[in-house]
Chains A and B, each alone.
Chain A
Amino acid sequence: MKEIYLDNNATTRVDDAVFEEMRPYFCELYGNPSSMHFFGGQVQKKVDEARNRVAALLGAEPAEIVFTACGTESDNTAIRSAIEAFPEKRHIITTRVEHPAVLTICRNLTKRGYRVTELGVDGAGRLDLEELKRVIDDDTAVVSVMWANNETGVVFPIEEIGAIVKERGALFHTDAVQAVGKIPLNMASSTVDMLALSGHKLHAPKGIGALYVRKGVPFRPFLVGGHQEKNRRAGTEATSSIIALGKACEQAARHMEDENTRVKGMRDRLERELMTRIPNARINGGGAERLPNTLSIAFEFVEGELILLYLSEKGICASSGSACTSGSLEPSHVLRAMGVPFTCAHGSIRFSLSRFTTDAEIDTVVRELPAIIRRGREMSPFGREFLAAQ
């Protein structure tokens, strides 16, 4: 069965051109960029090229890019660095809908005496900037707000937030793992001090990430040891993966318009068709600005894991905000923060598209899903009551 892969916010396929770009750096050009000989030097040149390409996608200077192992490392590094740079400040601001890569480290820091404020969101997943203005003070070391939410695709007004943060002299970090490659970003005219990105969300392999650190922003490394990355991240460079990330960023820039026109068009069509064909469905984050590729849709009276298992039988790969898929017992913290009604919080499904998604694949989902939801509702005591009342 050929898969219909609509789970690109979880991970993406490596682009063929990206794989070709990295391939020689395993068995042939395996030199260490730090070496003094020509064999390492030629790899150094490719690493430099990759840094230029990542910087170009972000509208940043190459020297502002630090390669890391993943988005989580970038987020952890940014927050630790910020609090170590301002040891006298003991307050951190983030949001209730952050990825665990940010939320967990912030919550752990409360045990070390930090005050952490988690900003709430409204029913559409939007922040209240007045709340940020109220809670930020001179004790705030860092504000960490994601650029776009992984579950709903809701995009936060990063520059408006940054303006408030800068006025108070705090550092501003953003987890842009879901935004990079999907929407245009420009650090040259941004208020962002640090930005985390992850390779495998934009058609590079797993195990490579980057942290943008604005020139002049105080920085403390997380990993110490060798002098790599200008002493900002020790450890021999993952050369092949870095080269792959560079190529993936170059490709993302080239496909940015496609992402925001054709891919967005397919997402919009999927959303429209499902809302027309399936009663009692709602879009999570529907009232907010969203990423062009993400659709989080909740179905009343049916449980999310069951929907995913039935979709999977048809070759369709999606994910869910349901409790049962994660082994936790509550719906996702994002949906709970948005106050999604409990009648449908357990039945939320996320479809996330990519430039490899086709119209025919969307057609298949539109054809199969209504019957799956109906079948799940017919099995459920609440679904049956609902269907009988119709």
Chain B
Amino acid sequence: MWDYTEKVKEHFLNPRNVGEIQDADAVGEVGSLACGDALKLFIKLDPQKERIVDAKFQTFGCGSAIASSSALTEMVKGKTLDEALAITNQEIADFLGGLPEEKMHCSVMGQEALEVAIAKYRGHGVPTHGHDHLHDEQEGEIVCKCFGLTDGFLKKVIAQNRLHTAEQVTHFTKAGGACGGCIPKIKELIAEVLGEQVQEERKKPEKLTNLRKMQLIQDVLEKEIRPLLWADGGDLELIDIDGGTVQIAFRKACAGCVSSGYTAKFVEQKLRDLVSNDITVEEVEG
């Protein structure tokens, strides 16, 4: 049985704001019967069209989907549209005292429905997450064919929630959860997004002391590279750093893996991008 918090249970047993608003200002629909969950969100604004005075929902889905919808409708009341748009899926989960990671996609669905509703109200192009089958236009490239999810959507969720593994991406978005064919592509997206984030946070320093360089190399290996290898049951160990030469040994599934050569190249590129251009990576026995 899922380890749902008391708050989650309370919200699916007594959901707030189920129903519809006849004269709603904004309506957002995401999901489908085939996907196994769907949410229709209604929003009513005050006469000045500034703040949300009422919100109602209809949800087809499991207990945590109902609870996430209920939480969302409670959270948006009294907020301006911009304030409502700033609500993250993590905040929805936090409102409920947390969700099991496998159920995080329920909180993401709430956030999506809100975005769709507000974009439609403002007359903007509707943001497509892909698995909203009501929209015929698609932005970006479809990555997960089973659930129809685009790279743009996945990258956003990866960045917002700082997801490190393909499994986490599945839990948060469902992508890769059916046939699994897109998991390699999801891993590329993770690498891309995490790379972008790291570069934003710490620009590659112009000049490094040897000590600082060694610290940075260790840091990147620990935070950026090993988690990706763990996701495939692999690992690596830092053996030595000598100037620009970084010696590593592969462990677990990576040890003896036929593509460890590519992995070593990947590690080198990552270190060059994030630390210094003069780094070379050597794979050693050890």
Contacts and interface: CB of A to CB of B under 8 A. Distances in A.
- Main SS of the interface on chain B? mixed
Contact of B177 (A306, A309, A328): A328
Interface string B44-61: 000000000000001111
B29 to A, nearest CB: 7
Interface string A288-309: 0000000000000111111001
Interface in B1-59: 12-13, 15, 18, 20, 29, 33-34, 36-40, 58-59
Interface stretch (B62-70, B185-193, B220-228): B62-70
Contacts of A325: 62
Contacts of A39: none
Given A309-B12, A324-B62, A382-B38, A301 B33 contact: yes
A203 to B, nearest CB: 23
B133 to A, nearest CB: 12
Contacts of B37: 303, 324
B58 A379 contact: yes
Interface in A352-390: 378-384
A159 interface: no
Nearest to B147: A329
B239 interface: no
B12 A329 contact: no
B129 interface: no
B231 interface: no
Which of B12, B36, B103, B177 is packed against the most chain A CB atoms within 10 Å? B36
B284 interface: no
B13 A313 contact: yes
Contacts of B61: 303, 306, 324, 380
A380 B12 contact: no
B33 A330 contact: no
A323 B177 CA distance: 11
B66 A379 contact: yes
Contact of B60 (A310, A329, A383): A383
Contact of B36 (A303, A313, A381, A384): A303
Nearest to A342: B34
Given A306-B12, A379-B15, A329 B62 contact: no
B174 interface: yes
B150 to A, nearest CB: 18
Given A329-B170, A343-B33, A309 B60 contact: no
B58 A380 contact: yes
Contact of A305 (B59, B63, B147): B63
Contacts of B29: 381
A303 B60 contact: yes
Given A331-B36, A342-B34, A302 B60 contact: yes
Interface string A315-342: 0000000111101111100000000001
A380 B34 contact: no
A329 B36 contact: yes
A304 B128 CA distance: 27
Contact of A346 (B36, B39, B170): B36
Nearest to B20: A384
Given A313-B13, A329-B36, A342-B33, A303 B178 contact: no
Contacts of A331: 36
B91 interface: no
Interface residues of B, number: 28
A118 B65 CA distance: 35
A195 B62 CA distance: 37
Contacts of A303: 36-37, 60-62, 65
A381 B28 CA distance: 12
Contacts of B102: 327
B66 A306 contact: yes
Interface in A61-120: none
A254 to B, nearest CB: 34
A384 B60 CA distance: 10
A195 to B, nearest CB: 32
A118 B18 CA distance: 44
A378 B34 CA distance: 18
Contacts of B33: 301, 342-343, 346, 382
Contacts of B62: 303-306, 309, 322, 324-325
Nearest to A323: B36
Contacts of A329: 36, 147, 170, 174, 177-178
A150 B87 CA distance: 43
A310 B13 CA distance: 7
Interface string B96-139: 00000011000000000000000000000000000000000000
Nearest to B15: A379
Nearest to B4: A309
B18 A378 contact: yes
Contacts of A304: 62
Interface string B149-170: 0000000000000000000001
B34 A384 contact: no
Nearest to A343: B33
B59 A380 contact: yes
B177 A379 contact: no
Nearest to B103: A324
Given A329-B170, A379-B18, A309 B36 contact: no
Given A379-B15, A379-B58, A384-B58, A306 B36 contact: no
Given A303-B65, A309-B63, A329-B36, 15 more contacts: A301-B33, A303-B62, A306-B12, A309-B12, A310-B13, A322-B62, A327-B102, A328-B177, A330-B177, A343-B33, A379-B58, A380-B59, A381-B39, A382-B33, A383-B60
Interface of A: 301-306, 309-310, 313, 322-325, 327-331, 342-343, 346, 378-384
25 contacts: A301-B33, A303-B62, A303-B65, A304-B62, A305-B63, A306-B61, A306-B62, A309-B63, A310-B13, A313-B13, A322-B36, A322-B62, A324-B61, A324-B65, A324-B103, A327-B102, A330-B178, A331-B36, A342-B33, A342-B34, A343-B33, A346-B33, A380-B38, A381-B58, A382-B60
Q: A-B pairs with the 7 shortest C-beta distances?
A: A329-B177, A324-B62, A305-B62, A380-B60, A381-B58, A381-B40, A342-B34
